[in-house]
Structure 1
Amino acid sequence: MKNQFINRGGLLLLCLTLLPCLGYAMAPKAKYKNGSEIVKAMYKRWEGKWYPNFQFEQRAIFYENGQVSKEEVWQELYSQPGLLHIRFDGFESGNGAVFAQDTVYRFQEGKLAGKMPQVHPLVLLSFDIYFLKPEETIAKLNTLNFDLNKVYETDWQGRKAVVVGASNPEDVNSPQFWVDKERLYVLRVVTNSKGSVRDVEMNNYQFIEKNWVATEIVFKTDGATTLREEYFNISFPKSTDSKWFDPENFSNTRWQ
């Protein structure tokens, strides 16, 4: 009986000794308190590691009433920060757009068809966020009406995600962006323009040349798919020419 008591006492002491360790091992990871923390975490994780230049082609598949209406092949080139040149259906078409200095320039048949101020949310959250100081990214997100005080965690396509801009899954209309909790890249961006909700999914991430790349982008407007982009001929140039992002040189720009 005495030995039994000692054994039980020893077991109890062992349990009491291990409880702090077990508690530490089982404690949940700290949650992000707000969107600013997520932005800072994304920047810290990939600073100096994310690709500064990104070149690719894409199949642009357009939809109307649930059916494919047309397909084109686009050429695109990104350079940090905030520079994006898009050619619609080949360089010779003369159609495309240039994003530079938070302004979009649209071209038709080689001529400037219009320009307007615009912070491109997909460029900001997919690329620029890893190059701009977090304070600058946060300021731009505020101009896009993302409420950085609202966050919650959920699952997205089998992975843990952090949602910034909404407090619960029932809110599907507020501007919000979804981030892979582990890898800290963007998964989804929702914007709202005067009641029209645009939902963009960054899908099929692949690890290419040691870089994470979303190779399929799906655009939905008010729940209906309007455009699907499939990326191919992906590369990561070591350098780009600043003239390629100068609207004055649109017609003469070639990078292939």
Structure 2
Amino acid sequence: MVIKPFYSMYQPNGYITIFLLLLCLLTIKSYGQSHKMISLESIQQRYIGKWPKTISYVKKVDTRQYGREDSSIQYHAYLYPGIARIDQGSLDEGRATIIHGEMSYWFKRFKHVSNGETVKYFTDYMLGDIYYDDLAGFKKVLAYSQVDSSLKGHGIWEGRPVIVIGATSLEDRYNAQVWYDTEGLYPVRFIEGRSGRVRDIQYQIKKYGSFWFPESAKEFVGKKQVGTVRYQNFSSDRKLTEEIFDLERFGSCHWAE
């Protein structure tokens, strides 16, 4: 009896078949290792030194929930590190928050009404402040947003490899978590469900040379879309003078005027 080599069963392409099988095994091994190598440090370090010193944009939010439709607008301006201004509604209302490092100052009708410690929530922090902070600060903001940075997972979502911070499985809908694109290391999804209502924000990212920023986002409660966010008039080149963020001169000028 003649015993034929294994590859002969796949003639006339036996060698090619074996090569492809080995290539698949190596790819799977490499895929698993690449996720193990991704850490909080690597996510943060990817854009440190590449993120612009200033950004400004208009954030428009449309919501449809409980039989009601609503729209809102915000004007965002950031002078890194640590200085920001967010105007709510029409600029004629004089309603805004100005942030100077660890302190935030609130204005209504162009008058300073109160101030307090700056609260950093991850969905805002991840859009720039993360790249001007240290690792301890990064972990602190994750913890404040109830994202357990010791929990990590990975998988495929919408055809792309993703890494999850805050959960070990893509099916987890209990733990607060942020999903990052494995290749670009930018956020594509934020989920939180401990309140009993799963809130799911999915981002559409646009690349600007060496950095990124979202063009829009969809918000779901459960599996029902309840909102759309659009980030418009984005710029990293717009001149943002110190007067815009000056507490004493609030109302004298605005970058969007």
Q: TM-score range by the shorter chain?
A: 0.7 to 0.9
How big is each residue's C-alpha offset from its partner over 1:96-148, in whole Å with a ceiling of 9 and x where there is no partner?
33344345444332234444431131232221222222233123323433211
Which residue matches 2:178?
Answer: 177
Which residue matches 1:236?
Answer: 236
Which residue matches 2:62?
Answer: 61
Partners of 1:94 and 1:152 in 2: CA distance: 44
8 A Cα contact 1:152 1:167, kept in partner: yes
Matched residue type, 2:146:
N
**Secondary structure at the counterpart of residue 233 of structure 1:** strand
8 A Cα contact 1:196 1:222, kept in partner: no
Partners of 2:210 and 2:236 in 1: CA distance: 11
8 A Cα contact 1:54 1:79, kept in partner: yes
- TM (normalized to structure 2)? 0.74
Partners of 1:144 and 1:215 in 2: CA distance: 23
**Secondary structure at the counterpart of residue 252 of structure 1:** coil
**Secondary structure at the counterpart of residue 138 of structure 1:** helix
Matched residue type, 2:110:
G
Q: CA deviation at 1:60?
A: 2.6
8 A Cα contact 2:55 2:238, kept in partner: no
Aligned residues: 244
Which residue matches 1:217?
Answer: 217
Which residue matches 1:27?
Answer: 29
Which residue matches 2:95?
Answer: 95
8 A Cα contact 1:196 1:221, kept in partner: no
Sequence identity percentage: 19
From the superposition, tell whether residues 247 and 47 of structure 1 become closer, same or farther in structure 2 (CA, over 3 Å): same
From the superposition, tell whether residues 158 and 90 of structure 1 become closer, same or farther in structure 2 (CA, over 3 Å): farther
Q: CA deviation at 1:254?
A: 1.0
Task: Map 1:1-256 onto structure 2 (within 5 A).
Answer: 24=26, 27-29=29-31, 30-33=33-36, 38-65=39-66, 67-69=68-70, 71-117=71-117, 118-191=119-192, 195=195, 199=199, 201-208=201-208, 211-220=211-220, 227-237=227-237, 240-256=240-256
- Structure 1 regions of 5+ residues with no counterpart? 9-13
From the superposition, tell whether residues 56 and 38 of structure 1 become closer, same or farther in structure 2 (CA, over 3 Å): same
Which residue matches 1:11?
Answer: none
Which residue matches 2:12?
Answer: none
Partners of 1:218 and 1:232 in 2: CA distance: 15
Q: CA deviation at 1:184?
A: 0.3
8 A Cα contact 1:244 1:250, kept in partner: yes
Partners of 1:125 and 1:182 in 2: CA distance: 17
- Structure 2 regions of 5+ residues with no counterpart? 9-14
Q: CA deviation at 1:202?
A: 4.6
From the superposition, tell whether residues 116 and 191 of structure 1 become closer, same or farther in structure 2 (CA, over 3 Å): farther
Q: Which has the higher contact order (CA 8 A, sep 6+)?
A: 1
8 A Cα contact 1:62 1:68, kept in partner: yes
8 A Cα contact 1:59 1:230, kept in partner: yes
How big is each residue's C-alpha offset from its partner over 1:170-229, in whole Å with a ceiling of 9 and x where there is no partner?
431322111111100111223467x26573525222234654221113345666655432
Matched residue type, 2:156:
D
From the superposition, tell whether residues 149 and 218 of structure 1 become closer, same or farther in structure 2 (CA, over 3 Å): same
Partners of 2:216 and 2:193 in 1: CA distance: 22
From the superposition, tell whether residues 51 and 250 of structure 1 become closer, same or farther in structure 2 (CA, over 3 Å): same
**Secondary structure at the counterpart of residue 216 of structure 2:** strand
| Bigger Cα displacement from structure 2, 159-168 vs 90-99 | 90-99
How big is each residue's C-alpha offset from its partner over 1:35-88, in whole Å with a ceiling of 9 and x where there is no partner?
xx532112232222222321122333233325423x344322123234332222
From the superposition, tell whether residues 216 and 46 of structure 1 become closer, same or farther in structure 2 (CA, over 3 Å): same
Partners of 2:108 and 2:100 in 1: CA distance: 18
From the superposition, tell whether residues 53 and 156 of structure 1 become closer, same or farther in structure 2 (CA, over 3 Å): farther
**Secondary structure at the counterpart of residue 28 of structure 1:** helix
